[in-house]
């Protein structure tokens, strides 16, 4: 698989990443089963065998159990940790987690950031993560608190680089002025159906821009400031492959076109959906999130799909349900 160099780092990563959202089972405090530990190992093996080197995690994923099963898999596979770029996210507090209690909230305090990173490291059986991202914007964040956490984690060697997730351009700029470390990535929801960050520029100065209001300028800001864009939910949760009879017409249109292009290019519909994101010149990195190891080789051929400008715009037109403005 071809790779990206994450700007302002020494990290060379696969163009597709692998996510661990549901890997630990249910979102509760029930311990993972033996099957879940085994599945985590098979998923990591499949990722590495298919050239994927970037693994996305978060302290909240299945209430820490995703970290736990990944850590178990790494401990049973000597040398695998050194082959991977591990990316952790913190900052969301689940109100239903008895360790914290309600309400659900965000917490960018020094103590919370540091404690959650250290807890994740313990679960992952590693001394460091390559990247730490703040998961969602905390409206109560204080500059000194975040700066202190980043400095402590960086100087101790527990985190090499830092980024954000689900932030718009102004939030990134505001955070960047507070910390000494360069913010190197922004992980956002992005797919053919949820194309707002990409379509944002085309809707400038139009009357109906409600859907784009939260992301206006974010793609351009990240490109101008060498911040990698990562795409979570890159295939819209799979809804674009086999939509039901009651699905929206634009979803059906996208599904039909994905199948058509896949047949023409002798590949999978999944590969075409991922290739749509890879075709963008921003260097977007989609994150595969399936718990089925067979889904990984279905997506990986996207790396070799040659998608024309016409094909890319046909898919966008199908998703929009209308031509470009």
Please provide residue 88's backbone torsions phi and psi, each rounded to the nearest 5 degrees. -110, 150
Quick one: pLDDT at residue 150?
98
Q: Could you tell me if 57 and 87 are in contact, meaning their C-beta atoms sit under 8 angstroms apart?
A: yes
Q: Which pLDDT does position 207 carry in this prediction?
A: 58
| CA quadruple 93, 97, 103, 109: dihedral sign | negative
Say if residue 232's pLDDT is above 90: yes
pLDDT in tens, 234-265: 999 999 999 999 999 999 999 999 999 999 99
pLDDT score of 82: 95
Instruction: State residue 138's pLDDT score.
Output: 97
How far apart, in whole angstroms, are the C-alpha atoms of residue 139 and residue 18? 29
Pair 319, 49: CB distance under 8 Å:
no
Please report the pLDDT score of residue 210 as a whole number.
60
- Pick left, alpha or beta for residue 168 (phi over 0 → left; psi -120 to 50 → alpha; otherwise beta): beta
The beta strand positions in 120-232, using DSSP E, are 129-134, 159-165, 183-189, 228-232
The residue annotated as part of the active site, out of 4, 61, 128, 221, is 61
* Contact residues for 192 (Cβ-Cβ < 8 A; gap 6+): 236, 240, 254, 273, 276, 315, 316, 318, 319
Distance CA 257, CA 250 (A): 11
- Cα–Cα dist 264/302, whole Å: 14
Beta-carbon count within 10 A of 182 CB: 15
- The Cα–Cα gap between 44 and 260 comes to 31
> Is the pLDDT assigned to residue 112 strictly greater than 90?
yes
Query: Is 61 an annotated catalytic residue?
Result: yes
Global pTM exceeds 0.75: yes
Query: How does pLDDT run across 165-220, given as a tens digit for each residue?
Result: 999 999 999 999 999 999 999 999 999 999 999 998 887 776 565 666 678 899 99
- Domains of the chain (ranges; CATH) run 3-244+277-305 (3.20.20.100)
Mean pLDDT of the chain: 95
| Helix or strand (DSSP H, E) at 113 | helix 110-124
- Tell me what pLDDT residue 215 has: 82
Residue 277 confidence class, pLDDT cut points 50, 70, 90: very high
């Amino acid at each position: 698989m071809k790779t990206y160099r994450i700007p302002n780092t020494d990290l060379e990563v696969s163009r597709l990443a692998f996510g661990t959202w549901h890997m630990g089972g249910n979102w509760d405090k029930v311990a993972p089963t033996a099957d879940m530990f085994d599945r985590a190992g098979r998923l990591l093996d499949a990722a590495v065998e298919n050239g994927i080197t970037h693994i996305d995690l978060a302290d909240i994923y299945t209430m820490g159990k995703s970290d736990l099963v990944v850590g178990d898999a790494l401990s049973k596979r000597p040398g695998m940790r050194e082959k991977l770029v591990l990316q952790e996210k913190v900052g969301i507090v689940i109100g239903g987690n008895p360790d914290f209690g309600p309400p659900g909230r965000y917490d960018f305090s020094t103590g919370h950031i540091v404690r959650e990173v250290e807890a994740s490291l313990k679960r992952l059986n590693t001394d460091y993560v390559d990247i730490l991202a703040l998961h969602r914007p905390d409206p109560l964040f204080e500059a000194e608190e975040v700066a202190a956490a980043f400095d402590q984690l960086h100087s101790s060697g527990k985190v090499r680089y830092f980024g954000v997730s689900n932030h718009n351009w102004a939030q990134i700029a505001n955070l960047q002025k507070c910390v000494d470390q360069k913010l190197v990535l922004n992980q956002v929801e992005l797919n053919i159906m949820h194309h707002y960050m990409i379509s944002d520029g085309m809707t400038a100065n139009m009357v109906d821009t409600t859907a784009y209001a939260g992301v206006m300028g974010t793609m351009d800001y990240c490109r101008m400031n060498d911040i990698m864009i990562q795409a979570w939910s890159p295939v819209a949760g799979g809804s674009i492959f086999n939509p039901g009879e009651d699905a929206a017409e634009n979803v059906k249109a996208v599904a039909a076109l994905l199948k058509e292009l896949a047949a023409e290019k002798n590949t999978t519909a999944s590969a075409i959906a991922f290739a749509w994101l890879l075709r963008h010149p921003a260097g977007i990195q989609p994150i595969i999130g399936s718990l089925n190891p067979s889904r990984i080789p279905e997506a990986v051929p996207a790396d070799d799909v040659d998608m024309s400008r016409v094909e890319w715009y046909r898919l966008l037109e199908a998703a929009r349900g209308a031509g470009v403005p």
